[in-house]
Structure 1
Amino acid sequence: MFGDLFEEDSSFLPTNHCGKGKKAKAREGDPPAPRDSTNLSGIQNQGGTCYLNSLLQTLLFTPEFRVVLLQWVFLFPIAEALFSLGPEELGSLDDSRKPEAKVRIIPLQLQRLFAQLLLLDQQAASTTDLTESFGWSSQEEMRQHDVQELNRILFSALETSLVGTSGHDLINRLYHGVVVNHIVCKECKNVSERQEDFLDLTVAVKGVGGLEEALWNMYVEEEFFEKDNLYRCGACDKLVEASKSAKLRKLPPFLTVSLLRFNFDLQKGERYKETSCYTFPTRINLRPFCEQTEMDESEYMYELFSVIVHKGGCYGGHYHVYIRDVDELGNWQLPEQEDRPGGAQGPAEDGPGTATPLALLQGLLAQEPCKELAVDQLGQKLLEHQGVAWNKKYRKQHGALRKYLQNHPEIFQLSPDATKVGLKDVPKLLLQLQSQTLQSPSQRNSLMGQSKDNPPSSRAPSGGHWFDLNDSKVQPIQEKDLEKQFQGKESAYMLFYRQAQLQRPPEARGNPRYQIPEHLVSEMKAANAELHRKRAERDSARHGIELHVHLGSHYRLQQGALQPSLPSQDNVLELTMDSRRTLGDLQHHLGQMLGSWQGDLVLSVAKPLAAGLHLYHVLEGDELSLAALGLADGAHLFLWNGKEVGGTKVPTGPAHEPVVLNVLRLAGHNEGGKGLHFRESQHVFSCSSSLGEVHRALAPAGGILLRNSSGAQEEAKRWEVFQEEELKETVGSIGLRDGCSVLILDSHDQSFVDISSGNLTAFTSDISWLQVKNFCGTQEEERVVKITTTIDTVMADIKRRAIKELHLQEELASGSCLRPVGGNGKLLSPVPEDYTLKEAELTTGSLLGLCHGTAPTSTQVL
C-alpha cells in the first residue's frame, strides 16, 4: 500500500545532525557530545528511521504516557503508565537471555530509551536496542513503515507485550476512541447503528481547506441514499431512502489525526502528494462532532502538542516533528534574538533564554579562571556553547567579533595586538548572573542536585514552548512556525492533540526525573558519571601538551647559542600538562619536581636551532592558561634565572637568533677530493651581526664576499658580490638563514672569474680543476700539479700556468703541447691550444701530459 512512501531521501536529511552547528564529525571512540543549549536530547538516525524518531519523541513528550500517575478529571481514574511498570511485572533486561525468564523486552527497552532521553547528558540517543527488540535487524525492515503505519504497529506491539500486566490497557486508556455510524430509514425511522474503535482518525486532505472542515464533513454532514442509490432497511425489508451520519461517541484523552496527504491519480496512473493549503488549529472544540453534547465545555477542548512533518514527495522524503514542551523540560532560546541596548545590564534584566551577545561573551570570559582568552578561542567557545558561529549569527548586525569587542571598551580589554581579550573590573554579582546564563544543560539540570522538591529555576511560560526535533538536531521554534507546515512539499502529516483539561502537577514542571523509577535514575546517574569520566579523559588528551623543559644549570653559551653541558637526557625534563592549566600551575609543578632549585624560577620560550638552543620571550602572567600563552604540543621552555647562564648574559629574541652559514672557498692545489670545487666550513653569526663583521671575520684583505642569487629551481648557482653599502646590513635583514651559503674569493681566486658590475658571471658548477704531468724532462723530474680552471679557460692558459707551477722555463711554452693521458696511461693526441676546457671535453680531475711538440689549431682538427 505504501510502496516507497517511507523511503528516506538523503537530499532531505538535515545538514547537521550534531545540534551545535559543528561540521566536523566526531572521532571514533569519542564519548557522545553533551546536550546542546536546548537541554533536550535528539535521537540518532540509523539510516532511514526518521519516522520512528519522530513518533518516539511524540510519545516521550506525552507526559501521561511516561509517568506513573494520570489524573484525569471526572472521566478517568488513576491509571498505570509506562514508568509505573516495574521489574516485577516486566522482568529485567539482564535476564533476557535466560530461557526460563519472562522478559517483556519492548516496554523495557522503551523505558530505558525514555530514561536516556530525559536524564542522560548526551546530544542524541540510540534506538538500536529498541529496534532490535522489534525484530528489526536490517535496513529493509527498518524502512518498511511510514509513520502512520508505525504508530499502529507500535501500539499493537506494546499492547501485546503488556498483556497480563497492570498496564495491559495503557494504549486504550490514552488513545482509544469510538466512532458510531447511524443509518436512519426515512419510512420506518429505524436506526441501524455500527460502532468502530479507533486509535487515530484518518482525515481527507484533497479538496478540503483544513481539519475543522474535514471533521465537519465526516461527523456533521449527512449522506443520503436516494434515487438510484437506495438503502435496504432491515426492518422494512426493502430498498428505501435513508440518511447516513457518523459521530464521535467516545473521545480519548489524546487524539491522533492522520492526514491523507498521498493519493493516486487514476488518469496519470501515478501517486502524488497533496501539497495544497490545509490548516489546523492549535486549540479545537470537538463538541460539534460528538454524539453526546451535554458535558462541560472543557471536556471537548483539545490542544495541539505535536506535529509530525513530512518533507519530500510520495517516493521518498524525511520526517521530523514539531513538539510543544508541555512539562517545560527544554531551554527555549531563539537563535535570531537581537542584542538589546543597555550594555552590561542586559543579563540582569533579560529573562532566561534571552542572553545578548554582550552577555554571552562576558559570561564566557567570566567562566575562565584568568578572565582572559585569545579572541579566536573566545569565538570557538561561543560556537561550542551556542551551536552557531559568530559570523553566522551576529556578524551581519554587529560586525566582526574583534571589532565588536573593541566597540565595548568599558567591558572588554584587548591586548595591544588585539589577539587576546579580557574582562575589565566588573561587579561580581553581574559576572555570576552572566555565568549562570551560560551553564551547560548538565549543570542546570544535574541529576545529583535536582529533585521533585527542587526543580530548576528557569522555566518557560505556562503551556510550554515549541521545538523542532529533527533526528539528532533540536532547535527552538515559535508557534507561528506551525503555519509553514500547512502546505507545500514540507507539510504536516500527523497531528497530536491532548485534552486541555489534563493538568500537569507543579512538581513535574521542569523536572525530567519526575516519577522515573529509582533503578532507572540510578542507572542514568552511573551512565552520566561514566560519560563525564570519558569526556574528562578525552578533554585531557585533547588539551594535553608535551613540554620540553631545558634546565639552565646544565647549559653553557657557545658561539651565540646554548649548548648542553651534560648528556641530553639529563638536560631536559619531559612532562605533559593540560593546556588549560595556568603558568602558575606549571611553575608550581616544576618547583615540586626540582626541590633543590636555587634562585628565581623563570621560564622562557626556547627553540632548538641549527646552532643550538635559542631563547625568546619570558612567560609572564601566572593566572594565564598555557593555551593563552601560545604554548602548543612539543613546545620547548628554558628554566633559568632570567639573566645569565653560567655567568654569561644570553642574547634573546628573534633579532639575536644564531645563524649557521655555510662558507665556501675555492679549493687550493692540494685541497678537496676528486671532483670537489670548494672547501666548506660552518660559521655561526647572530642575526644582528652586520655583513661588515661577517666580511672581516671571513675574507682576507682584498677578498670579496658573495651570495647565491639563484632561484630554488635553477640547476646552476649564480653568485653575486655584496656591495659596499650592503655591508652595513645585518645577517637577518639581508635574508641569510641557517644553511645559506656565502662564497669567499681572495685576490688570487678572483683572477679566474670575470666580475662585471658586481656580478660574478661564472657559475660555480663551471669551476673545475685539472692535473698536469711533466713529460718534458727526465723521469725523475716528472711531477703533477693541480690547476684551477673554469669551463671557459683555454688550453694555452692552462699550459702557461702549468709551466709556471712546475717551475719550468717559459721558453718551453712555444715548443710544447698538452696531451690527455688515457686510462691505460698512453698519451693521446694533442689538444688545440685555442680550445676551451669545454670544447676539449675534459672533465674535472682529468690528467694532461705536458709534452714536447706543437699542438694543432682548431681548424686542423678533423
Structure 2
Amino acid sequence: MATATVASFSLLSEAEFGCEHLASQLIHDGPASNHFRTSFIKAHNSLGRHDTSKTASSSLLKPKYNCITCSEPCMNGDRKTHTEKTGHQFYIESRNRGLFCQGCEDMVYDHGLEQYKSATPENSLQAAKKRRFSDSSTDELYVKSNASKRPCAKQGVRGLFNLGQTCYLNVILQTMLHDPILNTYFLGNGHQPHDCTASDCIGCAVTEAFADFNSIEKPEGFAALNLLLASWRASPTLAGYQQQDAHEYYQFLVDKLHTSAEGHLESHEKGCTCFFHRTFYGKLRSSVTCDKCGNVTKTEDPIVDLSLDVQVQAKKRAMGGSTGPSSTPTLNGCLESFTSPEKLMAGVYNCSGCGGTPQKATKQLRIKKLPAILCMQLKRFEHTFSVSEKVEGRIDFPLTINMLPYTTNPNSTVDKTRYIYDLSSAVVHKGKLDAGHYYVYCRQGEEWMLFNDDQVTPVTESEVLGVDAYLLFYNLRCLSNAAP
C-alpha cells in the first residue's frame, strides 16, 4: 500500500480532514492524536445544551471560543493573542459547536470529528478515528485530481449569527447586502440615521447592517440585533423566536424601507418616486374579457414580487396538456402559466357590458412595470381546508432571464436589453413546513457564496443552479435602459 507523498499531503489533508493544520494533529494515529480527540470531545461536551430561553441579553449573543487544549474561553478579539501566547490554535465556537482553526482564521469542518457529536460517549472516540480515505495510490490520485484548497471566508464576505430561529431574517438581509443597487444607496448616505427622528426605524437598522458588513476591521460574522429588535417592535407577528416565512419577511422589510424613505407616498397609486419604490415595486395588470360581448376590464396593482405556482406544469401534464417534454418544471414555464389566459366560470365575473349579469370570462395577468430588483417566489407551501404541506422538488431556473414575454407588450420590437435580468441570490428552505431552516446563495463579484447563518462557503454556478430554490432574486442588467 503506497503512502502519500509530501507534495500531495496538503491536498490530501485538505480533502480528508478539515484543514492541513488539523491533519497534522490527526493523520497519524497515536497518543498525540488520541489526546487531541479526547480534548475535543471534552471541550464539546462541556458546552452543554443550547440555551433556548427568550431572555438572552445582547452580550450573550456574541460567540465565545473555548480552547480545546486548555479550555480557556476567548472572545473574538482575544483568540489570536491566546494562540500567540500558548501555541494552542483550535477552538470550539460556543453557538454552533463548530471547530475554529486560528491557523486558517476560519471555521473548519472535519467529517471524522463530526461523527462523535451524535455518538454515545462509549463509541464517540472510535467514531472520530474513522477516516473516509485510505492511503492507496488510487485514493491519493483521486484526491489530487479533484480537491482544491478552499478560500477562507475573509475575502469580503461575512456571515450572520442566528439569534434564535432568525435564519429567515439572515437570508433576506444577506440578499440585500450583496445587491449592488442597495450597496450604492446605503453606503452612499442614502438613509442618514443621524438625521432620522423615527423610533425603531428599519431604514436606520439596515443602514447599520450595511456599515457593519462592510467594515474591514471585522472580517468575521456579526449579529443584526438592531434590525431584529426593530422588526419585532414594528410587527407583533414577528416578535419572538418562532420560525417565520422568509418571503413574508421580505415583503415586510421592503414595505418598511419604503416608509423610511424621505418624500415617499403612502399611496402607490399616486406614482411614488422614492428610491425604494423605484427599486422594489413593479405593477401587475389584470385583464378580464367577457366571453359573450368581448368587454375588457383592466385593473393594475403594485407588486414587490411574483408568486409562481410550481405545480401548474405538472397538473397540465397530468391532464394531457402540452407543457413540453421535460419532467422538471422550469421558471420560464411557471411564468408562462402565470401569464396565460385563464377561464372564469359564470358567477365569478359580472360583466358591465352585459348589464352587470354573471358571464363566463377569460382572465389574464401581465406585468405592466418591472422593478430593478425582481423577486420571484416559487410557491412551495400549500394550504387547504384539510391540510398544509410543503411542495418538494427542483425547479430549473436560469442565470439570465428575458422578462419581455411576460409583460403587457410581449411581441413589441423594443430593445430587449431593457428586460434582461441576472440572478443575484437564491434562497433555499430545507425541512418541514413548520420546522425548517433557510440558507441563501449570493453572487459575490464573479463568484458565488453559500451563506448558512454565520457559515460562509464558496460554491460553483452549477451548485447554485441545482438547488431547490424557494425565492429567486434577479437584477436588471442595465439600469440606464430600464423599461418605463
TM bracket (short chain): 0.5 to 0.7
2:350 corresponds, among 223, 229, 232, to 232
Q: Given the alignment of the two structures, is residue 214 of structure 1 paired with residue 311 of structure 2, yes or no?
A: no
* 1:322 to partner: Cα distance: 0.3
Does the 8 Å contact 1:104/1:161 carry over to 2?
Answer: no
* 1:188 to partner: Cα distance: 3.1
Q: 1:130 to 1:28 in 2, by over 3 A?
A: farther
Does the 8 Å contact 1:201/1:258 carry over to 2?
Answer: yes
Q: How does 1:216-615 map to 2 (within 5 A)?
A: 216-219=336-339, 221-225=340-344, 231-237=349-355, 238-264=357-383, 269-293=386-410, 294=412, 295-325=414-444, 328=445, 464-485=446-467, 491-502=468-479
Q: C-alpha distance in 1, partners of 2:203/2:472?
A: 24
Per-residue CA deviation, residues 378-407 of structure 1 (Å, 9 max, x unaligned), is xxxxxxxxxxxxxxxxxxxxxxxxxxxxxx
Q: C-alpha distance in 2, partners of 1:181/1:312?
A: 35
Q: 1:500 to 1:126 in 2, by over 3 A?
A: same
Aligned partner of 1:614 in structure 2 is: none
Q: 1:253 to 1:165 in 2, by over 3 A?
A: closer
Per-residue CA deviation, residues 597-636 of structure 1 (Å, 9 max, x unaligned), is xxxxxxxxxxxxxxxxxxxxxxxxxxxxxxxxxxxxxxxx
Does the 8 Å contact 1:258/1:495 carry over to 2?
Answer: yes
Q: 1:141 to 1:213 in 2, by over 3 A?
A: same
Per-residue CA deviation, residues 121-140 of structure 1 (Å, 9 max, x unaligned), is 23101111222233459995
Q: Residue 441 of structure 2: SS of its match in structure 1?
A: strand
Aligned partner of 1:114 in structure 2 is: 210
Aligned partner of 1:91 in structure 2 is: 194
* 1:149 to partner: Cα distance: 0.8
Does the 8 Å contact 1:184/1:191 carry over to 2?
Answer: yes
Q: C-alpha distance in 2, partners of 1:223/1:128?
A: 45
Equivalenced residue count is: 320
Q: C-alpha distance in 1, partners of 2:286/2:222?
A: 44
2:276 corresponds, among 132, 148, 171, to 171
* 1:211 to partner: Cα distance: 1.5
Q: Residue 277 of structure 2: SS of its match in structure 1?
A: helix
Aligned partner of 2:12 in structure 1 is: none
* 1:292 to partner: Cα distance: 2.2
Q: C-alpha distance in 2, partners of 1:62/1:46?
A: 23
Q: Residue 466 of structure 2: SS of its match in structure 1?
A: helix
Q: C-alpha distance in 1, partners of 2:68/2:470?
A: 30
Aligned partner of 1:551 in structure 2 is: none
Segments of 5+ residues of structure 1 without an aligned counterpart are 1-9, 11-16, 69-80, 94-100, 329-463, 486-490, 504-862
Q: Residue 405 of structure 2: SS of its match in structure 1?
A: helix
Q: C-alpha distance in 1, partners of 2:154/2:243?
A: 34
Q: Residue 67 of structure 1: SS of its match in structure 2?
A: helix
Q: What is the one-letter code of the residue matched to 2:228? A: T
Aligned partner of 1:132 in structure 2 is: 229
Q: C-alpha distance in 1, partners of 2:353/2:415?
A: 37
Q: C-alpha distance in 1, partners of 2:348/2:210?
A: 53
Q: C-alpha distance in 2, partners of 1:59/1:116?
A: 13
Does the 8 Å contact 1:38/1:476 carry over to 2?
Answer: no
Per-residue CA deviation, residues 662-708 of structure 1 (Å, 9 max, x unaligned), is xxxxxxxxxxxxxxxxxxxxxxxxxxxxxxxxxxxxxxxxxxxxxxx
Q: Residue 83 of structure 1: SS of its match in structure 2?
A: coil
Q: What is the one-letter code of the residue matched to 1:215? A: L
Q: C-alpha distance in 2, partners of 1:242/1:278?
A: 31
Q: C-alpha distance in 2, partners of 1:251/1:27?
A: 52
Q: 1:233 to 1:127 in 2, by over 3 A?
A: same
Does the 8 Å contact 1:176/1:252 carry over to 2?
Answer: yes
Aligned partner of 1:189 in structure 2 is: 294
Q: C-alpha distance in 2, partners of 1:165/1:232?
A: 36
Aligned partner of 2:260 in structure 1 is: 161
* 1:225 to partner: Cα distance: 3.9
Aligned partner of 2:184 in structure 1 is: 67
Q: C-alpha distance in 1, partners of 2:352/2:390?
A: 41
Q: C-alpha distance in 2, partners of 1:233/1:471?
A: 52
Q: Residue 84 of structure 1: SS of its match in structure 2?
A: coil
- Over the matched positions of the two proteins, sequence identity in percent amounts to 26
* 1:165 to partner: Cα distance: 7.1
Q: 1:207 to 1:235 in 2, by over 3 A?
A: closer
Q: 1:46 to 1:104 in 2, by over 3 A?
A: closer
* 1:186 to partner: Cα distance: 3.4
Q: 1:134 to 1:187 in 2, by over 3 A?
A: closer
Does the 8 Å contact 1:54/1:308 carry over to 2?
Answer: yes
* 1:168 to partner: Cα distance: 7.7
Q: Which has the bigger relative contact order, CA under 8 A and spacing at least 6?
A: 2
* 1:316 to partner: Cα distance: 0.7
Does the 8 Å contact 2:154/2:219 carry over to 1?
Answer: no
Does the 8 Å contact 2:288/2:362 carry over to 1?
Answer: yes
Q: C-alpha distance in 1, partners of 2:294/2:195?
A: 58
Q: Residue 110 of structure 1: SS of its match in structure 2?
A: helix
* 1:164 to partner: Cα distance: 4.0
Q: Residue 124 of structure 1: SS of its match in structure 2?
A: coil
Q: 1:278 to 1:26 in 2, by over 3 A?
A: farther
- List structure 1 segments (4+ residues) > 6 angstroms apart after TM superposition: 22-26, 32-35, 165-168
Aligned partner of 1:31 in structure 2 is: 77
Q: Residue 240 of structure 2: SS of its match in structure 1?
A: helix
Q: Given the alignment of the two structures, is residue 45 of structure 1 paired with residue 162 of structure 2, yes or no?
A: yes
* 1:241 to partner: Cα distance: 3.8
Q: 1:26 to 1:291 in 2, by over 3 A?
A: farther
Q: What is the one-letter code of the residue matched to 2:254? A: F
Please tell me whether Structure 1 or Structure 2 has the larger radius of gyration of its CA atoms: 1
Q: C-alpha distance in 2, partners of 1:214/1:106?
A: 33
Q: C-alpha distance in 2, partners of 1:83/1:23?
A: 43
What's the TM-score once normalised by structure 2's chain length?
0.59
Q: 1:177 to 1:32 in 2, by over 3 A?
A: farther
Q: Residue 278 of structure 2: SS of its match in structure 1?
A: helix
Per-residue CA deviation, residues 102-143 of structure 1 (Å, 9 max, x unaligned), is 567432222121111112423101111222233459995243
Q: 1:288 to 1:102 in 2, by over 3 A?
A: closer
